[in-house]
Amino acid sequence: MAQMPDAMTSKERVMAALDFRQPDRVPVFQSFWSEFTQAWEQEKGDSVSESIEDYFMQDISIVVGDETPYCTRAEELGEDGDYLIARDGWGQTKRTRRGGYFYEQLSFAYDENAELVYGEFDPPDLPQRYEHLDAVMEERKARYAVFAKTGGPFIRTYFMRGEVPYLMDMAADPSLAAELTMRTALHLTAIGLEELRRWDLYDTGLWIFDDMASAQGPMFSPATAEKVLAPAWKHMVDAFKAAGANKVILHSDGNIGPLLDLFLDLGFDGINPVEYHTGLHPLELREKYGERLALLGGLDNALILPRGDPEEVRQHVLEVLAAGVDGGLVIGTHSVAPDISVATMELVRDLLLEYGTYPMRLPS
C-alpha cells in the first residue's frame, strides 16, 4: 500500500498552503457519505487498519457548537402518521418523514410581520452548546488542522424567516431584510468568538457556512448582496479577525463566481468547495485572483468523478493540482457519495501520491 511520507503535521501543512507557501504535500479535505464508507470497507476488507479519513489523507476537521438561537426550545411536538413534527433550535417547526433528511417547513421563528415568535435568543455562552466537543478537542487538534465553524447570515436567516418570505424581503423591503440579517450575524459572531476562545483555535481560524447559490449562480443579485448581506458578512469577518482568527474561509455550494470580488473585499481568505461543474475552475480562478484567494476543494463530485473514466479523472486531478503549484490549494471534493466508485477514489489517491508532493512536477 503506497504511503506518502509526511514531513509536516496536518495543521502545518494546511496553514502553509493557505499562506501560499509550499507544504510537503497538497493538503486534502473532503467528507465521505456513510454509504461510500461502507462500500470502501467491504472492498478493502482486512487489508487496511486505518480509518477512511487517514487512508485518504484527510487534513482538516471542522467543529461547531450548537449555534441555534433557541437551543433550549428544540423539542418533538408530535406525530402525523409516518411523519415527525418537531421544533428545532432555529425556531422553525418542521415535518419530517422518520428516517428522512429533507423536511417541510410549517412555521418559523419570525411571524408574518417579521416579529420574533419566541423572543430574545438564548445566550451564546451556554455550556450545553459546546460540551459535546470539549472532551475530544485536544485529540482532534493533535491529528487535524481544526477550524471553528458558524453558519452564515443568509442561510441562517432563511431558516428563521422562511425561504420565500426572506427572499421577498430582500427584493421588496431590503432595509427589513438587512435588519433581520444583521440580527442573525450578531448572534453567529458571538457563537464563533466563543468557539475560538473556548477551543483556542485562533491560529487556524473559522469557516462561515452560508449556502447561497445554485449551479447557475447566487439566489440574489450582486447589488442585493451588497445592500443586504455585505454588512453582516463584514461584521463577522472583521470581528473574527480582530479577535485573532488567522483565516476566515467561506463555504457555499453552487456558483458563487459573481460574488467573489465582493468576498475578497470583505476579507475572506478562501472559498470552499469550489464546485467545478458550476464553472468554478480552480486553474482559471488562480490565474484571475493569484494569491488573493485560497481554494479549498476543486474536484468535481457531480460529473467527472461519478463518470469514473480513468483518463478523464487523471486529467481533472492534474488540472486542479496545477492551481496549487505555489500553494494556495487544499484539494478535495464537496463530498464523496456512493455514485463515486471506490476505484475512482483510489485513482485520485494514487494521483495525489504521485503528483501531490512539493515541489510539484506535473506532466505537461
Does 5 score more than 70 pLDDT?
no
Residue 46 to residues 42, 43, 85, 120, 346, Cα–Cα distance (Å)? 9, 9, 43, 53, 16
pLDDT tens digits for 280-336?
A: 999 999 999 999 999 999 999 999 999 999 999 999 999 999 999 999 999 999 999
Does 28 score more than 60 pLDDT?
yes
What φ, ψ does residue 25 adopt, rounded to 5°? -145, 165
Does 359 score more than 90 pLDDT?
yes
Provide the percentage of residues in the chain whose pLDDT is more than 90: 93
In this prediction, residue 21 carries a pLDDT of 97
- Please give the radius of gyration of the chain, using alpha carbons only, rounded to the nearest integer: 21
Does 8 score more than 70 pLDDT?
yes
Peptide bond between residue 23 and the one before it cis (omega within 30 degrees of 0): no
With beta carbons less than 8 A apart as the criterion, state whether 351 and 319 touch.
Answer: no
In this prediction, residue 1 carries a pLDDT of 42
**Domains of the chain (ranges, CATH numbers):** 10-69+123-355 (3.20.20.210), 71-108 (no CATH)
Count of CA atoms in the C-beta half-sphere (13 A) of 34:
0
Residues sharing a CB contact under 8 Å with residue 133, sequence separation 6 or more, in sequence order: 63, 65, 140, 199
> How long, in residues, is the chain?
364
Angle between helices 342-355 and 310-322 (to 10 degrees): 40
CA 214 to chain centre: 15
pLDDT tens digits for 80-130?
A: 889 999 999 999 999 999 888 888 889 999 999 999 999 999 999 999 999
Rounded to an integer, the average pLDDT of 323-351 is 97
In this prediction, residue 45 carries a pLDDT of 86
C-alpha dihedral, 42 to 61 to 149 to 12, nearest 10°: -160
pTM: 0.95
